[in-house]
Chains A and B, each alone.
Chain A
């Protein structure tokens, strides 16, 4: 394992506050993988995994800053609602700092092994982007198009993006699943799903 320059740790830590500027959203920040995997060493101290480690650190700051407004009505006995967040925020900052340090010093997490994953393959950003786009498109279209249409499109889009060769077959399965899930869950289990354009047809 090429373990690069130890003294760079200081520089990297100095750079951390700057790197945390893309303030993560409330629900947990989108992981930051902008740097493509594989060419880590050539970019000085930056490594893709630091996107995650710095996010952990930034989240710790966010927890402490984000609960500043939580104060009033601390009961006389015991602790207010800010105590635990400060504890967790502090721990997260500590963990994030050590994590970042570990990455800077050449530590690497092993990509998870799984049946369908080729752990040595370079990341296929086109597929990830496609899958993300299709899912967000589905989210946006759901209330207008209704469950049956948007779910069918979701399935069709994803299966083709993931390499289904027979598009007709994929389309047929998509429609069957879309209709079947609607019928089973809405009529059978009483779940409410939007009817959309097909409202009244099914």
Chain B
């Protein structure tokens, strides 16, 4: 089998001592930022983008992938030990996880989350190995109009699914698209929306946008309504679980994986929906003791969703690597990292840079194993990280945000742009605009424009070329359907009022 051969060569790349070190640094950093409130994997990878100038691509992507996976592990620790909703992908985990912790079963909750993440991550990476070459074979025939349609689908899907209010998701997307327009037009050399400011000719760097929207925006938002009570962290020892816990966990792990991977691979699927579905499925399937415990801390409600969010992280890599299509904020930043190396993810990447792609995929297996070791015995350490006094945490985040942005060009103008974007990030949080569509719009927008112009140049301006390809027609139809999801969600919320009420507030009429 071809991909098996390629994967083995990938392991040869990933198992060199230097790359093992990069993987270890990546998963450790990823767990740390996953545990810490206020920063996540997307922003961390963004801050580390400048290392692409000095580090070889394979090593950089091994580290970035480690951060991505590590963030998923770390998020569960926060959800379980802290009685507040954490990152959106582990929000569901808090429902049962924190109740388990409060009943003195924190160690078991952490263990089922970590082992479930390992099982799901490993299985889903295996699925990635199988699925990626298949998608590549299919995508090799894609023309520019198909790529344009794919981008449109990603835009509408991400905006409508990630937000509770579609108009706010679209507004976020639009803001990102405008940011992506700023600077010199690649094809004609004309300056657009620079308003005579020379520093804007090269466009606004992804690092500044991501750091502004995520880090500074979060710091300002937290400043505006800081919870003054100190966080209540449930104390915990090393994570472990007993026989009964294993018996109750393994099926939810597998079901969570089966839900998470395909949703991660879909544009706009993300990690939130599969965790949500997994929680509902486990609740429905619960029998006996589990049924009585549901709502008071059932282990199934932790095992399933945690497996689902890790599997979705692997799923996200399928469209990213094979089509160059990011479906989450972190994936969008990873795409930007590829661009910094002058690489374009897509079918050609597998042909031209097999060592890079398969080295990265192989490192996911290694990183997952490292994460299991990092998270089971070291749980008390991560719990201590959660107690960092918030004033120092956010002051430190802003300090490193400023450092990362200033180091780009040694320019104070960049810091001012960072601040403006921070204010935008603040307003978006305050009014419930999701951040991910903006990041995806900014990074995917210029590519969508390039493909659109290329398609119309080939057809000599005939617009019907955009729908004449059956693939493009199907994708554009799906994009239009995505705009109708609020309707579907309303129906779903009506049928599952309990779950919907505890997480999503049903949209208001």
Residues from chain A with Cβ under 8 Å of B202 in the complex: none
Residues from chain B with Cβ under 8 Å of A192 in the complex: 407, 410
Report how far A98 CA is from B193 CA in the complex, Å: 24
CB pair B226–A160 under 8 Å, yes or no, is no
Report how far A200 CA is from B398 CA in the complex, Å: 26
Residues from chain A with Cβ under 8 Å of B433 in the complex: 52, 109
Residues from chain B with Cβ under 8 Å of A131 in the complex: 219-220, 223, 398
CB pair A26–B195 under 8 Å, yes or no, is yes
- Chain B residue, CB-CB nearest to A102: B167
CB pair A31–B423 under 8 Å, yes or no, is yes
User: Nearest Cβ in chain A — how far from B306, in angstroms?
Assistant: 18
A51 contacts the other chain (Cβ, under 8 Å)? yes
Report how far A111 CA is from B164 CA in the complex, Å: 11
Contacts of B425-439 to chain A: CB distance below 8 A: 426-433
User: Nearest Cβ in chain B — how far from A64, in angstroms?
Assistant: 11
User: Nearest Cβ in chain B — how far from A120, in angstroms?
Assistant: 8
CB pair A151–B431 under 8 Å, yes or no, is no
CB pair B193–A66 under 8 Å, yes or no, is yes
Among B62-70, B316-324, B450-458, the stretch that binds chain A is: B450-458
Interface centre among A83, A85, A114 (most CB of B within 10 A): A114
A110 contacts the other chain (Cβ, under 8 Å)? yes
Among B124-132, B179-187, B260-268, B492-500, the stretch that binds chain A is: B179-187
- Chain B residue, CB-CB nearest to A169: B392
Residues from chain B with Cβ under 8 Å of A6 in the complex: none
Q: Please tell me which one of the listed residues A51, A115, A140 contacts residue B84 in the complex, with CB atoms under 8 A apart.
A: A115
User: Nearest Cβ in chain A — how far from B452, in angstroms?
Assistant: 7
A10 contacts the other chain (Cβ, under 8 Å)? no
A4 contacts the other chain (Cβ, under 8 Å)? no
CB pair B226–A26 under 8 Å, yes or no, is no
- Chain A residue, CB-CB nearest to B400: A181
A187 contacts the other chain (Cβ, under 8 Å)? no
Interface string of B205-230 (1 = CB under 8 A from A): 00000000000101111111111100
Report how far A192 CA is from B409 CA in the complex, Å: 9
Q: Please tell me which one of the listed residues A31, A60, A74, A177 contacts residue B427 in the complex, with CB atoms under 8 A apart.
A: A31
B460 contacts the other chain (Cβ, under 8 Å)? yes
Q: Please tell me which one of the listed residues A83, A85, A155 contacts residue B396 in the complex, with CB atoms under 8 A apart.
A: A155
B12 contacts the other chain (Cβ, under 8 Å)? no
CB pair B427–A107 under 8 Å, yes or no, is no
A199 contacts the other chain (Cβ, under 8 Å)? no
Report how far A77 CA is from B461 CA in the complex, Å: 7
Report how far A112 CA is from B403 CA in the complex, Å: 26
Residues from chain A with Cβ under 8 Å of B505 in the complex: 110
User: Nearest Cβ in chain B — how far from A178, in angstroms?
Assistant: 8
Answer whether A102 and B391 are a contact pair too, CB < 8 Å, given A28-B175, A33-B427, A116-B227.
no
CB pair A121–B225 under 8 Å, yes or no, is yes
CB pair B403–A28 under 8 Å, yes or no, is no
Report how far A136 CA is from B400 CA in the complex, Å: 15
- Chain B residue, CB-CB nearest to A85: B181
CB pair A118–B407 under 8 Å, yes or no, is no
Contacts of A96-148 to chain B: CB distance below 8 A: 96, 98-99, 102, 106-119, 121-125, 127-128, 130-132, 135-136, 138-140, 142-143
Q: Please tell me which one of the listed residues B197, B221, B227, B508 contacts residue A108 in the complex, with CB atoms under 8 A apart.
A: B508
B378 contacts the other chain (Cβ, under 8 Å)? no
B168 contacts the other chain (Cβ, under 8 Å)? yes
Q: Please tell me which one of the listed residues B181, B227, B423 contacts residue A117 in the complex, with CB atoms under 8 A apart.
A: B227
Report how far A121 CA is from B223 CA in the complex, Å: 11
Number of interface residues of B (CB under 8 A): 89
B6 contacts the other chain (Cβ, under 8 Å)? no
Residues from chain B with Cβ under 8 Å of A124 in the complex: 223-226
User: Nearest Cβ in chain B — how far from A10, in angstroms?
Assistant: 19
Q: Please tell me which one of the listed residues A59, A119, A121, A132 contacts residue B175 in the complex, with CB atoms under 8 A apart.
A: A59
Report how far A31 CA is from B165 CA in the complex, Å: 19
CB pair B416–A139 under 8 Å, yes or no, is yes
Answer whether A119 and B431 are a contact pair too, CB < 8 Å, given A99-B168, A158-B394, A181-B399.
no
CB pair A159–B192 under 8 Å, yes or no, is no
A191 contacts the other chain (Cβ, under 8 Å)? yes
Contacts of B59-93 to chain A: CB distance below 8 A: 78, 82, 84-86
Answer whether A81 and B432 are a contact pair too, CB < 8 Å, given A56-B175, A109-B165, A162-B223.
no
Residues from chain A with Cβ under 8 Å of B380 in the complex: none
- Chain A residue, CB-CB nearest to B78: A115
Q: Please tell me which one of the listed residues B181, B190, B424 contacts residue A72 in the complex, with CB atoms under 8 A apart.
A: B190
CB pair A51–B171 under 8 Å, yes or no, is no
User: Nearest Cβ in chain B — how far from A173, in angstroms?
Assistant: 6
Residues from chain A with Cβ under 8 Å of B426 in the complex: 31, 128
A201 contacts the other chain (Cβ, under 8 Å)? no
B188 contacts the other chain (Cβ, under 8 Å)? yes
User: Nearest Cβ in chain A — how far from B398, in angstroms?
Assistant: 6
Contacts of A149-177 to chain B: CB distance below 8 A: 151, 154-156, 158-164, 170, 173-174, 177
A-B contact sample (8 more), CB < 8 A, given A95-B171, A109-B433, A118-B227: A131-B219, A135-B398, A139-B412, A142-B415, A151-B402, A161-B223, A162-B394, A192-B410
5 chain-A/chain-B pairs, Cβ below 8 angstroms: A78-B454, A116-B222, A124-B225, A131-B219, A158-B219
10 closest residue pairs by CB, A with B: A109-B432, A31-B427, A78-B457, A115-B37, A158-B395, A164-B391, A162-B391, A109-B431, A81-B185, A159-B395
Q: Chain B: residues with CB nearer than 8 A to chain A?
A: 37-38, 78, 82, 84-86, 164-165, 167-168, 170-171, 174-175, 177-179, 181-182, 185, 187-188, 190-195, 197, 200, 204, 216, 218-228, 231, 389-392, 394-396, 398-400, 402-403, 406-407, 410, 412, 415-417, 419-424, 426-433, 445, 449, 452-454, 456-457, 460-461, 505, 508
